[in-house]
Amino acid sequence: MRGGILNSYAALVPLRIAAALLPRRVALGLAPHPFARFLVDFLYLPRWRPEWVIVDGLLPPPPFVLTGAHEGHWEIGGVAIAMHVPLTVLVQDHPDRRLLRFREETRARFGIETVVDRPGSFARLLHALRSGRGVAMLVDRDPRAPRSAAALARRARCPLLSAGNDALAGGRYRLRIRPKVLPPLDVLRRGVIGS
């Protein structure tokens, strides 16, 4: 399991206590592992503050497809985007169903729709785009994912963007949004995820 014990619902129990009792900055400083800091920050999302994320770049009106990598804090970046547009995110399936459900419920508080990467997810993402939502995908772990994102953007006739959410000092982040060029059709004809 990616992230080991920290990537489980059981890991949330002590972290939820810390999030309930401590200021965010203190809890982040006490987290011993980068993934623990990610989970601690995720637990503070109900106390979201816009100053946690500096947005660098222009976010077009939806629909659009936004690609990124597992860097910085992508969940907080997603919330920053969802404050401006309706957002659907594609996530990997997870063996810990309680953790998957907890993450979905937390995102839903901000109007973020979660689509788990399973057969049929491409059609669900396309429907989200055609319904006027932005779609966000992390594309660094599956070699098919960048093609899938580009194929979605081409099919929906919408912009393809890239984003990175860099960690800054003091528990803040810089969300960089940049336009991308769609690859040629022959590159997109190879397999896509969730189709």
Where residue 110 sits, what CATH number does that domain have?
A: 3.40.1010
Q: Do both 96 and 39 map to the same domain?
A: no
Q: Say if CB 2 and CB 34 are below 8 A apart.
A: no
Q: Do both 41 and 63 map to the same domain?
A: no
**Burial status of residue 154 (CB atoms within 10 A of its CB: 0-12, 13-18, 19 or more):** middle
| pLDDT score, position 156 | 94
Q: Do both 75 and 142 map to the same domain?
A: yes
The domain total for the chain is 2
**162 within domain boundaries:** yes
pLDDT band at 1 (very low <50, low <70, confident <90, very high): very low
Host domain of residue 43: 1-47
pLDDT band at 52 (very low <50, low <70, confident <90, very high): very high
Q: Do both 87 and 137 map to the same domain?
A: yes
| pLDDT score, position 181 | 80
Q: Do both 41 and 135 map to the same domain?
A: no
pLDDT band at 41 (very low <50, low <70, confident <90, very high): confident
pLDDT band at 186 (very low <50, low <70, confident <90, very high): low
Supply the mean pLDDT for the chain.
86
